Structure 1
Amino acid sequence: MTLFAILLLAHFWTDFLIQSDQMARCKRSTKLAVKWYPLLGHALTQVPMVVGIWLIGTLLRVANWPFLETFGISLIIVVLTHWLIDVTKQNCQPILKRALRLKPNQVPLISYVLDQVLHLVVIVIVSQLLGTNWQSTTISRWLLAASVIIATLYFADYFISLFLKSLDLNVERLPDRAQLGRHIGLLERLAILLLCYTNNVASIAVVVAIKALTRFRAIEANEHHFAEYYLIGSLLSLIFGCLGGYLLKLI
């Protein structure tokens, strides 16, 4: 469990917290010569975190701590597969579009979800093959909790944004103030996550009401389908926030 928790946190940290705009643009390129080197650097950003966590665990003499060889082999596999998935992601989108008969605005969403699923599958397989102990420990629970929080805030952020763009709501034509919804959504999901974790579920209604109150005039005007945009985004944000809080309680 410890190896899985470390690799999972390293992945979320790399993909959602320290990924630069340049790396994101490289992922969207179809030219291998343009993107292979920057994306390799992106994949390698997992190394400092994994090595740092391993050193901390070693210095603290954590029980059942994985050996250095286990960390090294698993890290090499995860970094290389992370790089390979990112390099081929954009080039596989036309195949994905034809195979699933997707509309052009649906391809980025499906591609994003499959990209994350493949990364997670690799982490699970590597942890299963190389991990020697799947018992839950205090440090593994803390690492998993950090991963849940990052996923709830940032995976959900990209997912909701791509999901809205996959619908025919003319999202690009919304007023500039609508773009603030992504930042509001982060705070909203964090609040909901904490409220679910602390068993204050009834207070979620206050968060939802405050958000709706600030957007009342825009919802009433419904310019460029803003009401639908707001409703779908809010419901998805609510679902992710509650799910994150529930997973935290399980951990």
Structure 2
Amino acid sequence: MNLFALFLLSHIGCDFIFQSDQMAQCKRSTKLGVKWWPLCKHALTQVPLVLILWGGGWLMAPPTWPHWQPLLIGLVIIVMSHWLIDLFKQNSQPLLKAQLHLTSNRVPVMSYTIDQALHLIVIGLVSMFLGQQWAFNHVNRLLLAVSIVLSTLLFADYFISFYLKGLDLNMDRLPDGAKLGRHIGHLERFAILILFYTHNVASIAVIVAIKALTLFKAIESNEHHFAEYYLIGSLLSLIFGCLGGYLLSLIAH
């Protein structure tokens, strides 16, 4: 569990916090010469993250903290697999479209989901084969808790965005030039996560009501399918917030 918690948090930091716009743009290229080196730098971001997390955990001295040998072996495998998965992500989209009979606007959400699932599978397999124990301790509980919070805010943010674009609801014409909806979504899911974790589930209705009242006129006019956009986005945000709160409560007990 220690290795899994280490590698999971470093992956989230690599993909959602420290990934530059250039790296994200390179991922969308189908040309190997354009993206292979930026993707190397992106995958290698995990190296300092893992070492910093491992060093911090070592200072806190949990009894089952992993030795440096399995850590380095796992890190090499994960960095290489991360590079390979990202390298072929964009090139695999035509295959996904053909095999799953997807429309063009629904390919990104499926590609994004499969990409993150593959990273998670690799992390789980490496941790399972190299880790001695899967017991919880105070350090990996903390690392997993941070991973859950960041995933609830950041992974869900990209997933919801891709999902809504896949529905073709004319999002580009919606009055959200400042991208305030993204910030509202972060705060909404964070509040839901806290309320679910603290067993104040009924209070989630207050957040939903406040958001609905604020956007009442836009929902009523339903310009450019705003009501559907709002409803689907809010339901997805609610699902991710509750799921994050549930996972957080599982590792805390």
Tell me the TM-score normalized by structure 2: 0.97
Does residue 157 of structure 2 align to residue 169 of structure 1?
no
Residue correspondence of structure 1 range 1-251 to structure 2 within 5 A = 1-176=1-176, 179-251=179-251
Superposed displacement of residue 151, structure 1: 0.6
AA aligned to 2:70 is: T
**What CA distance in whole angstroms lies between the structure 2 residues aligned with 1:168 and 1:90?**
21
AA aligned to 2:222 is: N
Structure 1 residues 78, 226: closer, same or farther in 2, change over 3 A? same
AA aligned to 2:105 is: N
Q: Which runs of 5+ in 2 are unaligned?
A: none
Deviation per residue, 1:4-60 (Å, 9 max, x gap): 010001111111111111111010001111111111111111111111122223333
Between 106-115 and 205-214, the greater mean CA deviation after superposition: 205-214
Kept after mapping to 1: 8 A contact 2:60/2:139: no
Superposed displacement of residue 147, structure 1: 0.6
**What CA distance in whole angstroms lies between the structure 2 residues aligned with 1:12 and 1:171?**
27
Kept after mapping to 1: 8 A contact 2:193/2:242: yes
AA aligned to 2:176 is: D
Deviation per residue, 1:137-190 (Å, 9 max, x gap): 111111111110011001000000000001031112212358321110000000
**What CA distance in whole angstroms lies between the structure 1 residues aligned with 2:237 and 2:13?**
20
AA aligned to 1:164 is: L
**What CA distance in whole angstroms lies between the structure 1 residues aligned with 2:219 and 2:225?**
9
Deviation per residue, 1:187-222 (Å, 9 max, x gap): 000000001111111111111111111111111111
SS of equivalent to 2:179: helix
Task: Show structure 1 runs of 4+ deviating over 6 A.
Answer: none
Q: Which runs of 5+ in 1 are unaligned?
A: none
Tell me the TM-score normalized by structure 1: 0.98
AA aligned to 1:45 is: T
Paired positions, count: 251
**What CA distance in whole angstroms lies between the structure 1 residues aligned with 2:203 and 2:77?**
44
**What CA distance in whole angstroms lies between the structure 2 residues aligned with 1:104 and 1:90?**
13
% identity of equivalent residues: 65
Deviation per residue, 1:70-107 (Å, 9 max, x gap): 11000000000001100110011011111111100000
